Amino acid sequence: MRPPLDAREAERLVETYADLILRLSYTYLSHTQDAQDVCQTVFLKLLERAPVFAGPDHEKAWIIRTTVNTCKDLLKSHWRKTTAPMEAAAAEAEDGSLLAAVNLLPPKYRLVIYLYYFEGYSAQEIARLLGCPRTTVSTQLRRGREQLKPLLESEGVL
């Protein structure tokens, strides 16, 4: 552990990772407000724990892993299970967009598709980030693509 982050370091982290955390959270949860909550939670964890990173790749991997775990925690929370979602006043992903089609996939496929195509991670890197075998990631990518193809065709994207 290191001493608490100073304001400049905290600002750098927000500027560097806020968009990644929001996009990844939205891809996982499909709700803008939940994604914003996860983003705040991840930064709070980062500020509270102040981990020491071996380098930029380690820092980014920690951010992604913490974001995914926070999304999973939100999905299994008692509050989430016992309340009905309200329709968001703000527009979510634009209908007919690639992201809208990706968001129609089950969460496990959405996540690997997002990390692979939008963030540029390899299957091996995704496996390391998610703590699962590379073959699992490859299978999820294949199945996600199989489910995504008809969605894109019906939307006229393909």
Return the biggest CA–CA distance within the chain. 53
Higher pLDDT, 108 or 42: 42
Tell me: the pLDDT tens digits for 53-109? 899 999 999 999 999 999 988 888 755 554 444 333 333 445 556 777 888 888 889
pLDDT digits (tens, 9 = 90+) for 147-156: 988 887 776 6
Q: How far is CA 29 from CA 34, 39, 73, in A?
A: 7, 12, 11
**CB-CB contact of 129 with 121 (8 Å):** yes
Query: So what's the pLDDT on residue 156?
Result: 64
For residue 85, give the 3-state DSSP assignment: coil
Residue with tokens 């075998």: 133
Residue 38 above 50 pLDDT?
yes
pLDDT-based confidence at 124, cuts 50/70/90?
very high
Report the percentage of the chain scoring pLDDT > 90.
32
